[in-house]
Amino acid sequence: MLLPLRYRTCFDALYETYASPRYLDPDPVLFLHRYDTPEDVEVAGLLAACFAYGKVRQIQRSVEILLNILGPEPSGRLVGMPEEEFVPSSFPLRHRFTDPEETVALLRAIRLVLRRYGGLEPLFREGMNVPMEGEREILHTNRSVRAVRGVASFVRVLTQLGAVPPGRSRSSLLASPEKGSACKRLFLFLKWMVRRDAIDPGGWTCLYPSELVLPLDTHMFALCSAWGFCERRHPDLGAALEATRVFREINPEDPLRYDFVLTRFGIRPELSMEELCRKISDENNEEE
């Protein structure tokens, strides 16, 4: 089911109202606005996205602790960190399922990427055209194919570089589309890096905004299911691609334009889900 284009009027009105720095809190993207250099923005963005699971205030607390440890220039700090500092006692942070060992493993892998590639975008760019396992069924003729391939390759290389602690099969900080995951956190990171407006800092040129995939968490999945944007029963990669396809019908060049503003409802205390549904219902009634 495709959303009628008349809904774009309502979404654009919401965007004009809520796509403002005053609504950044408590979204983890607010941490990216602390930095001026692209290198620091992307490192802070990847870490903020990886820890963006659980309650929003817990996310804020964990990201705050981690970035404070890394200091005002997280990219340069990581590149120059001596090996003896990559120990759990240097990063005494526990975030839901994530323990200090996983944090250290991810940071060490990021350091290797920065040293070998000079940044995170070159690694992502390298993997965008590398087919991933099982993609034929999911990605056939899909406009987001390069984004999905890029994320799959990105995770694969980070894992090869040690982002998963020894003796473990996976990390709570990374998910891969090759496993069918919606990869909400990494597609969120990609949105921050590619789009540019008052919310998303942008800077990456490897993808067009039209190629991005909706960061589909349970909150957005509930919205998309209620509106008929996706028919799948679980918030997996297929559901994320279904919902993205509908948003691309609404705004072909920038389908994720409305992601931030729609997710303010139910997160900000003054913006309820009921209010959002009422706004959309009112818009439909006026058009009819």
> What is the chain's percent helix, strand, coil content, to nearest 5?
60, 0, 40
- The residue assigned the tokens 């219902």 is 281
Model confidence, pTM: 0.94
Residues in the chain: 288
Average pLDDT over all residues of the chain: 91
pLDDT of residue 172: 97
Six-digit token string for 19: 């796509």
Residues 42, 119 contacting (CB under 8 angstroms): yes
The SS3 call for residue 79 is helix
Residues of the chain above pLDDT 90, percent: 80
Q: Has residue 282 got a pLDDT over 70? A: no
Residues of the chain above pLDDT 70, percent: 91
Asked whether the CA dihedral 249, 255, 257, 262 is positive or negative, the reply is: positive
pLDDT of residue 2: 42
pLDDT of residue 1: 41
pLDDT of residue 37: 97
Q: What is the DSSP letter of 2?
A: P
pLDDT of residue 141: 60
The SS3 call for residue 229 is coil
